[in-house]
Structure 1
Amino acid sequence: MDRQELAGFLRSRRERISPADVGLPAGPRRRTPGLRREEVARLAYISTEYYTRLEQARGPRPSSEVLSGITRALRLSDVERDHLHHLAGAPPGPAPGPSREVRQSILDLLRRLPQTAAIVTSATFEVIAWNDLAAALMEDFSALTRRDRNLARRVFLGPHANGQVLYGLSDADDFARFSAHRLRATAARYPDDPEVAALVRELLAGSEEFARLWASHDVAAEPTLCKTFHHPQVGPVTVNCDTLDITDRDQQAVIYTAAPGSPSEQSLRLLSVIGTQRMEVLR
């Protein structure tokens, strides 16, 4: 175990993460860059004293459970996770949970798609990347916490704006079934990940529909290839829905396009102009 290198690595990773990145309020009088030590400790489910000793090169060799918690809290990439394990003298094993790191090439792709709304979801249906048109069509994901960016949680538990289930989707019931079946497969791939287990427990406790779908033990469902969003400003927007698997990260890029020359294509063009701002009706 290289205590000095481990301490420096932890400090450098902590200082690059803002509170907003992990759904925490910035609060007043924040003098340190990035997260505070106590915030990392809370996210990693370890004591602040223990984490502080690690950053001060005074801590004992951390267990694999502690390293997994720190990996999640600091949002480490797969390469950084392996480096952390080597510094701690514990050879890395399989990834403990779904990756939330999106490749830069995928982020560039999302920005370069003209008149196309696109998002990237993790294996737990958390929206982890999006382009401007997707934010205009669906909602401003940057204004949401990680919790509210999870589409499976939203379709089963809400909140449902204006009484509409998940953006007024025409296939909301189909998506609910699809997400429940895929989550069962995700839970089998990551049996030791506490976030996956907590999400499943929350959905089982809060949604009779999810509990019924979960009890079926199905792990595959056909995705919907065409769907309609009921947008509060521009009305119904019908789009083709294509999904690209990012297999090395266990993620999916979902791309929404409208038929050329259709009213929905015009609606997407309008949304690309107005963005996420509200259109007020003149009286």
Structure 2
Amino acid sequence: MNRDELADFLRVRRAHVSPADVGLPAGGRRRTPGLRRQEVAQLAGMSIDYYIRLEQGRGPHPSRQVLNALARALMLGRDERAHLFHLAGQAMEAPRIREDVPASLLHLISFLEEVPAYVLDARYDLRAWNPLAAALMGGLDGLADDERNVIRWVFLSPDIAEHFADEEKSRFARAAVADLRAAAGRHPGDRRIQALVTEMLALSPHFAELWSRYEVEIRREQRKQVTHPAVGTIDAICQVMPVPDRDDLRLVLYTTEPGSPSHRALRDLRRLTLSS
């Protein structure tokens, strides 16, 4: 059980729920946003002293019943609820993150000739990709292993503006940090994830601000607009699919509407890749 992280999570999520959200009167001026501790305790059916001890990081090990009650009181989504259980030590221990990529997955992405595809691990390291993904993202083959990290690229790379508009970058950065927070909960003992978070907190104020929000949401599908210098703007659906029996790996596909300008742009990019 990670008492300090659990305490932080409860405090931050409490601040994001207003009395009106849960059918309570505002009750005059409030010094801080969100619910009061007493209101959370009341909604969860527990004593105020018990809840205060949880928020102070000195409470007992909460039962599954208590965690479910807190999740309802704080209006947590599915991913946030799972994260709460991870922090309280109630979820099954996650397997150690492995370095290998299954051969079947490598074969699959190589067969997807008209779809940019890559394999991403839990800490956002790119582990494998097909030629079209390399062409779309640019320069993957020439990077060192520790440079092929999407989190570092989004928050630290000076050339990201060439690929994403400000609004697109902001939306993706927020989703990536919320997803990384979920991964940190699923893999509490992974030092590589911990080291990445420590590094980014020191180097990127934007990352630090998003991390402090304590948003938790696993990436599954997201619309993206990517600008490529050779073929222009591509509107794609970024599909993120878990790899069976490997919750440390995910397959990421960029798909476009058949016959659309974006679909034609990807085909043009593939032709450029084959001719180079």
Q: Which bracket does the TM-score occupy, shorter chain normalised?
A: 0.5 to 0.7
Residues 109 and 129, structure 2, Cα contact 8 Å, conserved in 1: yes
| AA partner of residue 268 (structure 1) | L
Aligned to 2:259: 261
What are the residue-to-residue correspondences of 1:188-203 with 2, within 5 Å? 188-203=185-200
Unaligned runs of 5+ in 1: 1-92, 279-283
Paired residue total: 182
Residues 178 and 214, structure 2, Cα contact 8 Å, conserved in 1: yes
What value does the CA root-mean-square deviation take over the aligned residues? Answer: 2.3
Q: CA deviation at 1:277?
A: 7.9
Establish whether residue 245 from structure 1 lines up as the match of residue 242 from structure 2. Answer: yes
Residues 132 and 275, structure 1, Cα contact 8 Å, conserved in 2: yes
Aligned to 2:146: 147
For residues 262 and 157 of structure 1, do their structure 2 counterparts lie closer, same or farther at Cα, with a shift above 3 Å needed?
Answer: same
Q: CA deviation at 1:155?
A: 0.7
Give distance in 2, aligned partners of 1:243 and 1:101: 19
Please state whether the residue corresponding to 1:99 is helix, strand or coil: coil
Aligned to 2:40: none
Q: CA deviation at 1:147?
A: 2.1
Deviations 1:145-174 (A, max 9, x none): 12221001111111x22x616x22662212
Give distance in 2, aligned partners of 1:143 and 1:232: 18
Q: CA deviation at 1:193?
A: 2.6
What are the residue-to-residue correspondences of 1:214-233 with 2, within 5 Å? 214-220=211-217, 225-233=222-230
Aligned to 1:30: none
Residues 123 and 193, structure 2, Cα contact 8 Å, conserved in 1: yes
Deviations 1:45-90 (A, max 9, x none): xxxxxxxxxxxxxxxxxxxxxxxxxxxxxxxxxxxxxxxxxxxxxx
2:164 equivalent among 157, 168, 172 = 168
Give distance in 2, aligned partners of 1:150 and 1:240: 21
Give distance in 2, aligned partners of 1:276 and 1:197: 39
1:235 equivalent among 223, 232, 236 = 232
Residues 221 and 240, structure 2, Cα contact 8 Å, conserved in 1: no
Q: CA deviation at 1:248?
A: 2.2
Aligned to 2:270: 272
Q: CA deviation at 1:178?
A: 1.3
Aligned to 1:109: 108
Give distance in 1, aligned partners of 2:270 and 2:110: 12
Residues 135 and 275, structure 1, Cα contact 8 Å, conserved in 2: no
1:210 equivalent among 207, 213, 216 = 207
Give distance in 1, aligned partners of 2:274 and 2:161: 18
Report the TM-score when normalising by structure 2.
Answer: 0.60
Report the TM-score when normalising by structure 1.
Answer: 0.59
